[in-house]
Homo-oligomer: A and B are copies of this chain.
Amino acid sequence: MAGYVSEAVIKRLPAYYRHLKELETEGVKQISSKGLGERMQLTASQIRQDINCFGGFGRQGYGYSVAGLREHIGRILGVDHTHAMIIIGGGNIGRAVALSDSFPANGFQTVAIFDNDQEKIGTGVGQLTIQDVSELKQYILENTVDIAVLAVPVSIAQELADELVTCGVAGFWNFAPIDLKLPEGISIVNVHLDEGLEILSFRMMQGLV
């Protein structure tokens, strides 16, 4: 990658990736910055600047190779290889993540799901069976785990995250509405659904789009 990439560009990477996958599906081989811009509601110059920023791909005047650019961005995002995910919490959110088709289709494979509720332990979620959270450490010792999905109550989220970090988990997808404190080198993305709804409510109040 070519040097510093701003947070704004990083946030657009998955959208580039999604649009390029769609274009591939549609059978489009080449696309100009203008064409991609129209599709993504960005200007052609913004597209050129972004793509320049993450590696100077493509040749001006010829447009971009859809497959080539999709692969290039896939490599940057690290979605050219599979990630093994474990889910902690067999409630509604945990189940929804475990049952999704689209995460495995993008290389994010749920390999195990844990809960501390005796009523849930041993029950099935798709192909998986909910395991006792007391077996979590042992599981991580014996299996490759890239990402832990936290779908647990706020009250236990920090303690659980600390334990998982100790076990060597370096990536967290956190659905608990809490700002987890994690050591340097550990990556986290929060999905604070409540906050999204509040932002929606705010925009509706302001009449903003």
Pick the residue among B83, B100, B203 that contacts A201 (CB under 8 A). B83
In chain A, positions 90-123 with a C-beta closer than 8 Å to chain B are: 92-93, 95-97, 99-100, 102-103, 106, 108
A197 proximal to B (CB < 8 A): yes
Bound state CA distance, A170 and B93, in angstroms? 26
Residues in B with CB closer than 8 Å to A146 are: 204
A128 at the interface (CB under 8 A from B): no
Q: Smallest Cβ distance from A128 to chain B, in angstroms?
A: 14
A172 vs B147: C-alpha distance when bound (angstroms): 30
Q: In the bound complex, what is the Cα–Cα distance between A205 and B173 (angstroms)?
A: 15
Copies in the complex: 2
By the criterion CB–CB under 8 Å, are B187 and A204 in contact? yes
Least Cβ–Cβ distance between A52 and chain B, in angstroms: 18
Cα A19 to Cα B205 with chains together (Å): 22
A interface residues, tally (CB under 8 Å): 58
Q: Which residue of B lies closest to A83 (CB)?
A: B201
Closest to A80 in B: B201
Instruction: Select the residue from A83, A170, A205, A207 with max chain B CB neighbours within 10 A.
Output: A205
Q: A201-B78, A202-B76, A209-B186 are in contact. Are A195 and B18 (CB under 8 A)?
A: yes
Please tell me if the beta carbons of B103 and A92 are within 8 angstroms of each other in the complex.
Answer: no
B78–A147 touching, CB < 8 Å = no
A192 close to B (CB within 8 Å): yes
Q: Sample 22 A-B pairs with CB under 8 A, ordered by A number.
A: A11-B199, A13-B198, A13-B202, A14-B192, A14-B199, A76-B202, A76-B205, A77-B202, A93-B100, A95-B96, A103-B197, A106-B197, A108-B197, A147-B197, A147-B200, A171-B200, A173-B196, A186-B209, A187-B207, A189-B197, A189-B200, A191-B191
Chain B neighbourhood of A103, CB < 8 A: 193-194, 197
* CB contact under 8 A between A10 and B147, given known A41-B179, A103-B194, A177-B18: no
